[in-house]
């Protein structure tokens, strides 16, 4: 171990809390309604645990799983899922390998939640069409700081 490890063996971890997660869910659902979309929204804390989740009436349960996977992917990769998918699309072996991993989704709609340069959680949205998942996820992420 380095000297640094001996001086500071415990690291503080900032994470999204329940009140902020609820605010984000409400912002996402309001924006989905404006866009006439039915979605599932999942907010994860920094450890990958569900802080809040909403599935609108008539949305299939599988859509919620995809929203959770998008949030998990954004958290694990520490970048938006659509950006990562574009970056790796030319490497079909990597895409196939990543898509085979449980809990991964290389689809637009997953965003890391960043506070002062630190990832404090993630949001995933699924169920909308025509690329609106990302737009709804962005509305949720913006509500983190409201």
Is 1 among the domain residues?
A: no
Residue 39 located in a structural domain: yes
Burial label for 48, CB within 10 Å (0-12, 13-18, 19+), is middle
- Dist CA 83 CA 80 (whole Å): 5
**Looking at the domain assignment, is residue 3 inside a domain?**
no
**pLDDT(71) > 80:** yes
Specify the CATH number for the domain of residue 36.
3.30.450.150
| Domain annotation covers residue 5 | no
Residue 119's domain comprises 15-143
Domain count, the chain: 1
**Structure confidence at residue 1 (pLDDT):** 47
Task: For 104-138, write each residue's pLDDT tens digit.
Answer: 898 999 999 999 999 999 999 999 988 899 999 99
Model pLDDT, residue 5: 57
pLDDT at residue 110 in the model:
97
Assign 2 a pLDDT band (cuts: 50, 70, 90): low
pLDDT at 4: 56
Please check whether residue 32 lies inside any domain of the structure.
yes
């Amino acid at each position: 171990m380095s000297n640094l490890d001996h001086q500071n063996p415990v690291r503080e971890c900032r994470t999204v809390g329940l009140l902020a997660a609820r605010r984000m869910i409400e912002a996402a659902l309001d924006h989905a309604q404006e866009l006439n979309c039915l979605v599932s929204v999942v907010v994860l804390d920094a450890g990958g645990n569900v802080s809040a989740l909403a599935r609108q009436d008539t949305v299939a349960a599988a859509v919620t799983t995809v929203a959770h996977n998008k949030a998990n992917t954004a958290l694990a990769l520490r970048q938006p899922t659509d950006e990562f998918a574009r970056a790796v699309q030319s490497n079909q072996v990597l895409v196939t390998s990543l898509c085979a991993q449980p809990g991964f989704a290389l689809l637009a709609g997953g965003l890391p939640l960043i506070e002062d340069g630190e990832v404090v959680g993630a949001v995933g949205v699924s169920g909308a069409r025509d690329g609106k998942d990302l737009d709804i996820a962005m509305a949720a992420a913006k509500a983190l700081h409201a």
